[in-house]
Chains A and B, each alone.
Chain A
């Protein structure tokens, strides 16, 4: 195997050399062939000759001429005396005839002399149907095979020798037009104007596919998604991935948290058990990996999501994005393309004709308008006590330490002693009215502000073009104290050397930084404490968070161990700064008309510094706060080449290509921080030196990896009817063992244009059938073959090393993903009605699964091994139409729909379950059993009568205290949800009238559930209204036998599996009974049955527990809170409809702008991400059901738990934005 590798390396070297030699040889050979007569060397002495005699001298030296001497008047041309030795014929003729009206050319072995003609001029203007100019439109003179383009106002002027010409005019997304028989006379000017019609013929559109190759969409045997740069910036987004939501079928986008958080993009459902299913981004040939693993944590409970590095990509710089969905489309990108590829093409100066300046500016205000809803009926407390329940004269107390429960009713004019700021501690504590503050959370958050300013310059001519751009983005978060900033600088240039050589390069530099990013999860998450503020207190009282006179020392708080949300927001700082440089250099050479070669090198390099400062005062870091400083770097280099042969034989056109790539990547990670809770030596001194040696947590690690690849592909087409693509690729990865290092994978796809094959009804504009089959192999992360001893924390001064708990397998094999897809595209009525449908099946097998739990008794608790087959099946549909199209009006609408289901078909022998994440304390968990769908959520289950013949079928079986009993989720295997939607539906609409355009994008996700830990905790705190809205059975005050009969009749109220309902309530009005202790009207009990057993423990019979007799164990309302032991009440439907984008744009007509010397000006107003509806109705965004965690949960190192959230409760916003675009 090693020999084979060496051999292939040799082949690589030799073939590279061969290409180079070929280039040089052809250069020489072709020159000789083409100009044999002209290159002949002659000796000539001119003394008093005229042109005729001089020509005759040449004829004597065997140069063959053809001319009419008389007509040309050669003898009238005087020649100055001169002797030329060993000069070429061409040089001699130039001496003789330049500056005369006689021209010479060589044809078929003769030098032909003829009269020069005065060139004519072909002028005109190209506009669209509205009369707007189309700058940069392409004009091809067919006979000359030369192309020209229009200027900024759509005009063109072409000088031509007299003759009859054909013209072809092209403009992106407009229909091609031709004019034939245009006669250009000598010295005359001919005008030819073109009015182009917009092309609705989607199939003729050109898309950028793998390796940056532009293809006509009709020739593709697979489905691709495409989004133009214009669509991405209509509504500005901080992370460009957000702009894809709802626009492309088969793609799921989730923003996992507040602005600047990681955005998840999953194409065709996740099939990888090993990774986070994020696609590979290829920006101008530069592969950039996106990941959800962006969470860092310094200090206890301070998990911060620093956001995807892909957000460094500046939306303003993007020309187009193509989403290659399945492996068929991505086969050429190799290992990392298993989850799809997003090919990004950035803007260049290619289309610029003369200097062009673009300036855009946008500002958006995110106005919070909807908030997670807490109950506003009761202040905290264990019992809902009113003055009626206590002896006359008793002063009710609401102690500051009690922040949970349902106590004294709010807003009923009840007085009690309550918390007050410490400044007033010495004044007598007088009872005050217990008043609710339902707007605490609203008052806490800010209006977010994002502004983006962008400037670009571009210019170009025949030989070169360039574009330089700069963009600045600043954001002030909705969460107080948070920000995000970015500067992008980009430069791209292309230089043409002669007709055949092109050199291009681009380089991008991005700085992203923030002084403070919000923490998620629990701990320093400010939303947690803002939400948990007791509702009898005004949050604004905490805004001035220092105790007056003790600034910097004492914080206003309810009690020691409680955190002031304002203090957390403004004093805990999680800063980062990322500097990123990426770019490429590329040379292309057209060796022969049919043969071209390309060599390219790309680089992506970033360095990210993270720094956390936690001052004294945060309860999780009681020892003078905490400090952490870390640095992460990543470097990736790709070098590739591609040789392409392009030819046509009759109706058969083909392109054959071969190439190779070497990828090398290296990452480093250094971090230093105080150990969680151990703190600093002195407060407010944030240096590593201020951490005592025993309290210092330090780590450094680095890793590297390389993949070498060779590939070849063929694109075959017959008569514009049938297209066949074949690809083959072989990779050699450093991460796999020698014997399995090399892996090969092919693909094939076929496109059939039915409308070209059969003569169809003319109303059917196009019908295409397509199908593809593809494989992609995949490797793993570095160092997965041999486990090393890990260093543990030292024991005093003794160093400790331990065996890894993970069993590594030295003979890992590559993963293999096989996909099939079939689809069809239709266009009717000149493509005013369009349809695309695709069915796909992806089998991802041999997956390299890390951290798979195995019996720890085997000597390891987890293992890395090849196992598993995940099958993902799905449908994608796009239905588009142009219902209105008149001179002024146009309405375009597209609807896309996606349904994907991924099922775990196999694991390794003896392994039947794959954990995904695990919420501790018997909360919810996600795992997959073989045969089940990925995304299932499990929770503990209550014990019920399961014998269908029993009269108590479905009744809860209660324990001796009359409480529900639980069976652990592992044992019950009780599925209580799935975090994937049943389907996703996106709709885009563009309605335009003259210079106005109204555009919107909708996103509807149907089905699926998520586990809200916010709801669980708020419910447990007694602050969720859902608890009493949904779980109380109001028995209308019935008692005794009447009650138990009524309950038996209405047993569906508590035999329904969804919720655990109980009879009673917090007050008499809400169904409560007089409690057993007689203190308040919050008596309640759980309806069900008890088990009676004999002395040996054998079951005898069920005893009713329905409120009758002494069997029934009564308790107080709050004692029936089940949020901790039975989390299913906090598993909520994830359905929602969002208005992703809406914008209204007005293009100011150029006639108004010309005086101002402005070429274009557009003004738009927009909004985005407006939640229209959720099924759960708790005002949590189901899209954000993600928990950032650094624990990894044993979940293969993925730092995002999907399908659950913890205080990820940024309010819903109504953004209001305005954007100006200038073109000079």
Chain B
């Protein structure tokens, strides 16, 4: 019997030995405990994700809306603003996620009493909240990011309150970052992927953002904006600005993995209908730039792969690829073309009600062209959507890459600041409009690597400053390439560039003025969202949203309903 007693005792001993400490067991071994984390671990996250979010949108749907590019496959969101509440969930999500990380960084910086990270955190918060106010209007601000305090459904603040809050953040940041560089000794420079820890550049970024948002308010809250701008321009030592390319808030994509790669890259994707291949230049931008032989066009776009050439001497159905000799400016060149007979051209014109484009250099696709057969543009031989079209300009080959010195997220450029200052000068709020206009174009040429073309370009009539707001904003729109959100907001405020028509493919006959509040808010924060929507102003376009009485749709959640900033103005339509 003793043997069995021992066995039993042994097994019971195992039972006792196995009793573990339950507290220690639940410490997560797979991540960094926030209590021992450092704000520098968050800084590159916030910068890269903020810049990427805005670039993805600006170089995505907004470049289509603003008629810089078009797509010929899966084009509804890009060309035709066929948006709804689910279209831009991701943008809202990532902007608030950036804010959450920025706020965490701010907390960490406050704990450590580190002014550099406090300042940069405030700038990044201003940057992200700025886009939220711009893209949607009213939004959670004062109660946002306070889940830790138990606020799960934050209320919506008015758009104006958000802008005021942003300007306040930027003011604080300017002060926090005003000391000598040597006083900020705890910066891990490698973690600052924007300015490598250069405090004065961050400070310029803060003040330049102030200019951006004050200008945004310059029609609606004119005296408020004028006073703020006056204060900034009145004391350049206290409020330095980004005036040269070296100070631009822009960072390159390293391309070492998908999330750090340029959005249209085709690395690892030979799919012929990838985003790059669907993209075509838009005729609005191409023709504007062709007028003045803008050298930036060659940086952004590929020349037409195979120009079309009409030869009326050939039979009606003639259709052949061959060399054609042209005399351009007195020089003869041989260009390989697809030569077509008149019948081929006429058939196309009749079918699509669109002239054939015979440009030898660059061709853009008309905006919102048609609902069907986009790939057929310009007598295209392509039979499937989203494929390269030899008779239309693709984006420059660099946009296939994951990384290139020109492939940058351009958060705020020197050109933008100069255009802003030119506009401010034109308003008579100080400064010289002409010199800022010229500097804007100069810095834009510099940043795109075509500085030596500037002198020729600016001397041309039409390009030389003519003193109109339309010219400033139109040039600003051209310069906004790949950061097109800013152009959209300018168009909304000023009505420029004066886009002529919107094609039959578009969801509405006019360009939209905002994004829809995302589905996530509709389903998770409905009550607060409804309150905010009541502040919107109906327009005849918003009333045409497809719905009817059976669906209590949030009708004013429309891309054509006017936010506070536009209410009472006649802009843009």
Binding site for B on A (CB under 8 A): 5, 9, 12-13, 16, 19-20, 23-24, 27, 399, 401-402, 497-498, 501, 503, 560-561, 585, 587, 589, 597, 599-601, 619, 622-623, 637, 639-641, 660, 662, 664, 675-679, 694-695, 701-706, 708, 732-735, 738, 741, 782-783, 785-805, 807, 853-861, 863, 910-913, 922, 941, 943-947, 957, 959, 961, 965-968, 970-972, 1093, 1095-1098, 1119
Contact = CB atoms under 8 A, between A and B. Distances in A.
Given A783-B26, A856-B96, A970-B86, A694 B256 contact: yes
Contacts of B30: 701-703, 783, 788
Contacts of B152: 854-855, 858, 863, 910
B328 interface: no
Contacts of A497: 1, 3-4
B519 A503 contact: no
Quick one: which of A19, A501, A637, A1093 has the most chain B CB within 10 A? Answer: A501
Contact of B34 (A587, A589, A787): A787
B549 to A, nearest CB: 6
B34 A965 contact: no
A793 B260 contact: yes
Contact of A967 (B100, B372, B546): B546
B322 interface: no
A788 B31 contact: yes
B34 A789 contact: yes
A1097 B544 contact: yes
A943 B546 CA distance: 7
Interface residues of B, number: 101
> Which 7 A-B residue pairs are closest in the complex by CB-CB distance?
A788-B31, A677-B268, A796-B254, A1097-B540, A1097-B543, A857-B140, A783-B28
Interface stretch (B17-25, B56-64, B205-213, B412-420): B17-25
Nearest to A913: B523
19 contacts: A20-B8, A23-B8, A601-B11, A695-B257, A706-B20, A708-B22, A789-B31, A791-B31, A795-B254, A802-B97, A802-B101, A855-B153, A860-B100, A863-B147, A944-B548, A944-B550, A957-B546, A971-B522, A972-B551
B2 to A, nearest CB: 9
Nearest to B9: A20
Given A402-B383, A796-B254, A706 B22 contact: yes
A909 to B, nearest CB: 8
Contacts of A857: 92, 96, 139-140, 144-145, 154, 521, 525
B267 to A, nearest CB: 7
Contacts of A5: 22
A855 B15 contact: no
B37 interface: yes
Interface string B539-562: 111111011111101100000000
Contacts of B272: 560-561
B103 A859 contact: yes
A401 B383 contact: yes
B546 A959 contact: yes
Interface in B263-303: 267-272
Contacts of B546: 943, 957, 959, 965-967
Contact of B19 (A12, A619, A793, A943): A12
Contacts of B553: 967, 971
Nearest to A735: B26
A789 B257 contact: no
B256 A970 contact: no
Contact of A694 (B31, B148, B257, B551): B257
Interface stretch (B38-46, B111-119, B175-183): B38-46
Interface in B393-423: none
Nearest to A927: B523
Contact of A678 (B41, B92, B267, B271): B267
Nearest to B144: A857
Contact of A796 (B103, B154, B260, B541): B260
Contacts, number: 310
A968 B153 contact: no
Contacts of B527: 910
B523 A678 contact: no
B198 interface: no
Contacts of A783: 26-28, 30
Given A27-B1, A801-B37, A861 B520 contact: yes
Most buried by B among A497, A599, A941, A1098: A599
Given A561-B270, A801-B42, A585 B547 contact: no
Given A797-B190, A1093-B544, 17 more contacts: A19-B12, A23-B5, A27-B1, A587-B8, A599-B11, A662-B18, A675-B258, A732-B22, A783-B26, A801-B41, A856-B520, A858-B145, A859-B99, A860-B100, A861-B520, A968-B84, A970-B86
A1106 to B, nearest CB: 19
Contacts of B432: none
B7 A587 contact: yes
B4 A589 contact: yes
A853 B523 contact: yes
Contacts of A782: 25-26, 28
B526 to A, nearest CB: 8
Contacts of A855: 140, 152-154, 520-521, 524-525, 528
B103 to A, nearest CB: 7
A708 B104 CA distance: 37
Contacts of B186: none
Contacts of A785: 26
B547 A619 contact: no
A966 B545 CA distance: 10
Question: Which interface residue of B8, B31, B259 has the most chain A CB atoms within 10 A?
Answer: B8
Contacts of B256: 694, 793-796
Contacts of B258: 675-678, 793
B404 to A, nearest CB: 14
B350 to A, nearest CB: 11
B500 interface: no
Interface in B230-268: 254, 256-260, 267-268
Contact of A733 (B22, B101, B528): B22
A601 B548 CA distance: 66
A1068 B92 CA distance: 50
B96 A859 contact: yes
A802 B45 contact: yes
B424 to A, nearest CB: 32
A639 B15 contact: yes
A800 B47 CA distance: 10
A922 B89 CA distance: 13
A853 B520 contact: yes
A794 B259 CA distance: 9
Nearest to A852: B524
A863 B153 CA distance: 13
> Which of B3, B271, B371, B541 lies at the interface centre, i.e. has the most chain A CB atoms within 10 A of its CB?
B271
A911 B524 contact: yes
Contacts of A498: 1, 4
Given A854-B524, A855-B153, A678 B37 contact: no
B20 A664 contact: yes
B324 interface: no
B380 interface: no
Interface string B68-102: 00000000000000001110000011001101110
A971 B538 CA distance: 19
Nearest to B105: A803
Contacts of B325: none
Contact of B18 (A24, A639, A676): A639
Contacts of A587: 4, 7-8, 11
A221 B153 CA distance: 46
Given A788-B32, A961-B371, A970-B85, A807 B524 contact: no
B384 interface: yes
A734 B193 CA distance: 41
A738 B8 contact: no
A714 B48 CA distance: 63
B520 to A, nearest CB: 6
